[in-house]
Amino acid sequence: MKEKNSKGFYIALYSCVGVLLIGSAVIAYTMVSNTNNAVVPVSTLGVNDFTPSSPVGQIAPSANNMQDAGIRDFFNNAPPEATPAPTQAATTTAAPPQVVPQQQQVAPTIEEQEPEVTPVFREFTEATSMVWPVVGEIVMNYRTDGFVFDPTLNHYRTNDTMKISAVQGTAVRASAEGIVSNVFYTRETGNVVEIDHGNGWATTYSQLQDNVLVAEGDVVLAGAVIGQVSSPSPAVSGLGDNMGFRVTSDGVSVNPLSLLE
């Protein structure tokens, strides 16, 4: 009788302990569930849900476990997550500086020069007469085959330039058509103008004022004013106011009186 009571006591004791353990387990489960609001069934989670930011209670499997086929089957046979390609940091490559080509220095266009036109004038011939450069008295004749008296030097000498008396300021005219070949000055002759008349003929006008009216290269007509009579240079001062007139043919002096009208 005593043994039967002893067994009943232990059975009752074990039953109470079991009830306490089960109750403790239920209470613990309830507390955990309340702390996390709800336990999400594993069957509703995808592989991508197991991230470091998953809420407490959702355990993210490790990378090694994710590669295990059995674990993958456990999570609703989810397909293996494709390993994303490593994201390359957006590297902004600075575009190389654009080299702005310097503007090509274009040489200024040189206009095509018109061909030089030879001045046209009627060339002088022996059949053509010349006009007098000034109207006045001959104060010293032309002579190369003999001697004439030179009042300035007070002796006789040859003379290839005829001297014509004219008041200072008197207009001096070209004796024939031609082109001015030279303009110059010497102390003996003063300002001088030379004119080329073509065919080897040329004339020279000396004792002119500084305001010569023509320049080298000018084309003049017969009778055109080329300058004015100046005061005489020391070389001809004995003749008074005058201008010198010389004619040449192929460089050889010719008596102007043979050609003047």
Q: Is the pLDDT of residue 151 over 50?
A: yes
Q: Is the pLDDT of residue 50 over 50?
A: no
pLDDT at 126: 87
Question: Are 188 and 235 contacting, i.e. CB atoms less than 8 angstroms apart?
Answer: yes
According to DSSP, the residues that pair with 235 across neighbouring strands are: none
**Nearest by Cα to 149 from 218, 249, 239, 61:** 239
pLDDT at 261: 85
Dist. CA 50–CA 66, nearest whole Å: 10
Q: Is the pLDDT of residue 96 over 80?
A: no
pLDDT at 103: 60
pLDDT tens-digit map of 193-249:
999 999 999 999 999 999 999 999 999 999 999 999 999 999 999 999 999 999 999
Q: Is 25 helix (H, G, I), strand (E, B) or coil?
A: helix
Domain positions in the chain:
2-74, 138-258
- Report which residue type is found at 92: T
Dist. CA 223–CA 18, nearest whole Å: 157
Q: Is the pLDDT of residue 55 over 50?
A: no
Question: Are 152 and 239 contacting, i.e. CB atoms less than 8 angstroms apart?
Answer: yes
pLDDT tens-digit map of 13-28:
677 667 677 766 666 6
Question: Are 241 and 168 contacting, i.e. CB atoms less than 8 angstroms apart?
Answer: yes
Burial call 221-246: b when 16+ CB within 10 Å, e when fewer: ebebebbbbbebbebbeebebbbbbb
DSSP H or E run through 93: none
Q: Is 166 helix (H, G, I), strand (E, B) or coil?
A: coil
Q: Does domain 138-258 have CATH number 2.70.70.10?
A: yes
Q: Is the pLDDT of residue 147 over 70?
A: yes
Residue with tokens 């009208």: 261
Q: Which residues contact 186 (CB under 8 A, 6 or more apart)?
A: 192
Q: Is the pLDDT of residue 33 over 70?
A: no
99 versus 158: which is more confidently predicted? 158
According to DSSP, the residues that pair with 162 across neighbouring strands are: 245
pLDDT at 116: 66
Q: Which residues contact 238 (CB under 8 A, 6 or more apart)?
A: 150, 151, 152, 153, 154
Dist. CA 258–CA 145, nearest whole Å: 15
Per-residue pLDDT, averaged over 42-56, amounts to 44
pLDDT at 21: 76
Per-residue pLDDT, averaged over 180-194, amounts to 97
